[in-house]
Structures are given as structure tokens and as C-alpha cells.
Structure 1
């Protein structure tokens, strides 16, 4: 679990593709350097979010760490655009002594979005985004949380066509990779898990009510239908 509060900006040192006969199954391995401030307590198998993607440390040194990335993750994220020299947001999995300053972030990317606008507003930057996966637009709500490239942010506005906006203050600009993005670039998106959980519970509850003819919902629907039929026949 993560908070979306980026600890450090690292640099991709190596990006290596596996062939399909490798145990990585056609995925890639990535080595990230300039990471020494977060590696003091690192162990093999630890989770580190790299641009919001929860990845497992397979090797590490005093300044760098290596992770393996599966084909599934490649399909859902912007990893394919990384190359040596690319800057990435880094956050270790939360520990017991971590203040929860962002929001609950799993590190499980839902999909990507394109940067469609970038406008300076005072010392802030307002970014506009458009999701590639339209099925996740229902979880994008004004003043709701969203995680973009591993950064916990607040949605400031949502357009009818699904375009949404965030405003990034100067302090955050200095701590994350977003200011390096230009219009047309891709970013990783993890929508707020809360919306997914609520939707799932509502759907399950409705399915249970509908399947039970004695449930309060089924009885209410029967009464409404009966009232409508009576009204129609009385005409």
C-alpha cells in the first residue's frame, strides 16, 4: 500500500526487454538509479512504486534497484515509453511510522491518460487529462482523489466529455515528474479505490434484492407495477 506522496525522483538507468523464452515471459527489467535516500532499509522482495506502479525489488545496491515488469503491466501503463535517462517518481510501501498525507493507493494502475492541456495559473500549473479507458471515467469526480504517475492529487474539474483537471502547486512541482510532461505525453492513472468498492457493494446488493421475490426492493417494484397497471386500466 502507498500514499501517493512521492519520496524521491529517480532516473531509469537500464531498460532491458526479455525475449519470450525468458522467465519474464516477454516483459522487461528496469534498473532505477539516484535512489539512495530510499534504499537504506531496502530488502529483496520489497515493494516500491515507480511512477505509481507497485513493483518488486529483485536486486539493489547503495544507489540503484532493479525490478521486473510483466507484459500485463506493460499493456496497462506508460512503461514502454521509459528509456535510460527518464525521470520517475518513487515511493516505498508504507510502514507503521508513515503519516498518511495522500490517499489510499494500491499501486495497481487502471490505465493511462494523455496530457491534453497545460496552463500556468499564478505559481501553479493546471493540467488537463483524457483517459484512454473510458470505463474508468465514472470514477473521476470533482474534488475526488486520483493518483497520476504515483502522485496523489485532487480533481478540480470534470468536463462532460470526460476531460479532467488538476492544479499543481509550486511545492509539488519541485517534488514530482509531472512538470516535465508536455501536451501529448502519457501518464499512469489509478482511480480512487473507494468508488470501485461502493459500486461493487451496490451492484451485489441490488442483484441480491432482485433475485429474492420477498426482498424489500422486489416488493416495492411489485407495488409500483400494480399501481401503474391499475391506473392504466382505470382510464
Structure 2
């Protein structure tokens, strides 16, 4: 579990193809440098979020650490687009006993989004994103709401505008976040990792299952509600 508060910006210094017999496909390993501030309490097997993706530390020293990335993670995230020299947002797994500054972030990326526009306003920046909808999955835009939480490349941000027809949303990035994340290194057309608010997903799943569960009469709760509304309408007319 993470908070979406980026601790440090690291840099990719090495990419390697993983042994397919181990990874089960075309996985890769990443070695990240510039992470000395988050490694003093690191252990093999610990979780570190890289651009909002929860990954497992397999090797580390005082400044660098290494993780393996499975094929499914490469398909779901923007990590496959990283190259040597790419900057990445880093955050350790949340520790108990500390203030919780962001929101509940699992590090399980839902999809990617493309940057549509970047516009300045004062010392802040407006970013507009178009969300990619994964095939055969529930529409993700339903979980993105105005003034709700969203994690973009692992950064906890507030949604300020939503356009459901175009599958787009906007956030305003304050100067502190500009200085302490990778957001200002990005440009229009770049892809970012998106994790929608998990609480919204849980609620949506409960409501969906409740409404669509078939009773012994073969009807779902949704069917019964629609039938009741029709009967009420016919009775009143």
C-alpha cells in the first residue's frame, strides 16, 4: 500500500531482458539510481512504487536497486516505454505510525492515459488526459469523478474536470508537485500510468453484483426495479 506522495525522483540506469523460463515471457529488469534516500531501511523483497507500479526489490546497494517486471505489467503500464536515462517517481510502501498525506494507492495500475494538453495558469499547470479503456473490463471513467482522487504515475492528485463523452479528465499541478515529480518532464502525447480510487471500484463492484445477481425467479434486482417502475408508470397513466 502507498500514499501517492512521491519521495524521490530516480533514474533508469540499466534495462535487461529477463530469462523467459523465469518470467514466463518477455519480461525485463530495471536498475534505478538516485534512490539513496529511500534505501537505508530496504530489504530484499520490499515493495517500491515506480511510476505508481508496485514492484519487488530483487537487488540493492546504497544508491541503486533492481526490480523485475512481468509481461502483464509491461502491457498494463507505461514501464515498457522507459529507456536508459528515463526519470521515474519512487515511493516506498507505506509504514505504520506516520501521517497519511495522500490517498490509498495500491500500486496496481488500471490503465494508461495520454496527455492531451498542458496549459499554464499562474504558477500551476493544467494537464488534460485521455484514458485508455482496457478491453473486456468495466468502464474506468465511471470511477473518475470531479474532486475525487486519482494516482498519475504514482502521484496522488485531485481530479478537477471530467468529460465522460471524450474519456478525458484534467488535474491542476501545483508548483511543489512540479518540482518533486516527473510531471514537468512529460509532453503532450506521452503516456502515464493511471490508478483510479480503489474505494470507488469496491463500491461499484458491490452495487453491480447486487443489482445483477439472479434470484430464484430468474430475475435480477435490476430487472425487478425496472419492472416495478414500468408497472408504476402504467398504473399512473
1:207, distance to aligned residue in structure 2 (A): 3.1
Match of 2:153 among 143, 149, 164: 149
Aligned: 1:2 with 2:7: no
Matches within 5 A, 1:118-197: 118-133=118-133, 135-159=139-163, 160-197=165-202
Query: How high is the TM-score relative to the length of structure 1?
Result: 0.90
Distance 1:219 1:115, change over 3 A: closer
Distance 1:227 1:178, change over 3 A: closer
Structure 1 contact 11–32 (Cα < 8 Å) conserved: yes
Distance 1:211 1:132, change over 3 A: same
Q: 1:179-224 CA distances to partner (integer Å, 9 max, x unpaired)?
A: 100001110000111111111111222234x515599988766655
Structure 1 contact 17–28 (Cα < 8 Å) conserved: yes
Give the secondary-structure state (helix, strand or coil) at the position aligned to 1:62: coil
| C-alpha separation in 1, matches of 2:54 and 2:105 | 10
| C-alpha separation in 2, matches of 1:83 and 1:17 | 13
1:53, distance to aligned residue in structure 2 (A): 0.2
The worse-fitting range, judged by mean Cα deviation, of 70-79 and 217-226 is 217-226
Runs of 5+ unmatched residues, structure 2: none
Distance 1:225 1:98, change over 3 A: same
How many pairs are equivalent?
Answer: 230
Report the equivalent of 2:62.
Answer: 62
Runs of 5+ unmatched residues, structure 1: none
Distance 1:124 1:43, change over 3 A: same
Larger Cα-atom Rg: 1
- Backbone CA RMSD of aligned residues: 2.2
Structure 1 contact 115–186 (Cα < 8 Å) conserved: yes
| C-alpha separation in 1, matches of 2:78 and 2:228 | 52
Query: How high is the TM-score relative to the length of structure 2?
Result: 0.90
Distance 1:219 1:49, change over 3 A: closer
Poorly superposed stretches of 4+, deviation over 4 Å: 212-232
| C-alpha separation in 1, matches of 2:113 and 2:4 | 17
